[in-house]
């Protein structure tokens, strides 16, 4: 139940043409406490409840628990969330043996495009696509919980 993830800015949308999957996502936070966040997500026609722990010093590793829930439950919980629902389209892109999730944000975070990769170990090597920009794993401003409270368009 540990997530090891690195996050990067995206320099171009060229990778979208390589995507093998696409999903519309709406997500909100029942709790944005830095020690633990509780997130409700609707991804296409499925609902999820996720609890994430505090990240380590590098921002790479943290506890994550996720459970699929009924869509109507997720819709009801989303109404209870703190202000600032995140809207984005996620594209899954295979590069070598890894999958990048490229998020194109909408609404109050329009203009932000971020790619994430989940790894087995924090120092694992992976193929970096040409559209991958600066690493922002350590920068809390790019965490979705932060973006829901302080949107990218207000920076």
Our count of domains for the chain comes to: 1
pLDDT reading at 1 higher than 90: no
pLDDT category at 133 given cuts 50, 70, 90 is very high
Residues 6+ apart with CB under 8 A from 96: 126, 127
CATH code at position 115: 2.40.320.10
Q: What is the pLDDT of residue 108?
A: 96
DSSP assigned state of 72? H
- For residue 96, what are the domain limits? 2-154
Report how far apart the first and last C-alpha atoms of the chain are (Å, whole number): 33
pLDDT reading at 80 higher than 90: yes
Q: What is the pLDDT of residue 7?
A: 97
* Catalytic site positions: 29
The two tokens of residue 34 are 């830095």
**For the whole model, what pTM was predicted?**
0.95
């Amino acid at each position: 139940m540990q997530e090891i993830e690195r996050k990067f800015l995206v320099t171009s949308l060229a990778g979208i043409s390589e995507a093998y999957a696409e999903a519309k996502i709406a997500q909100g936070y029942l709790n944005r406490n830095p020690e633990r966040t509780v997130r409700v997500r609707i991804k296409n026609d499925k609902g999820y409840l996720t609890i994430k722990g505090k990240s380590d010093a590098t921002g790479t590793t943290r506890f994550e628990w996720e459970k699929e829930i009924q869509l109507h439950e997720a819709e009801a919980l989303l109404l209870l969330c703190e202000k600032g629902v995140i809207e984005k389209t996620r594209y899954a892109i295979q590069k070598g043996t890894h999958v990048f999730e490229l998020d194109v944000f909408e609404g109050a975070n329009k203009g932000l495009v971020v790619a994430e990769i989940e790894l087995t170990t924090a120092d694992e090597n992976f193929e970096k696509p040409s559209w991958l920009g600066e690493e922002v794993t350590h920068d809390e401003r790019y965490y979705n919980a932060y973006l829901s409270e302080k949107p990218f368009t207000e920076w």
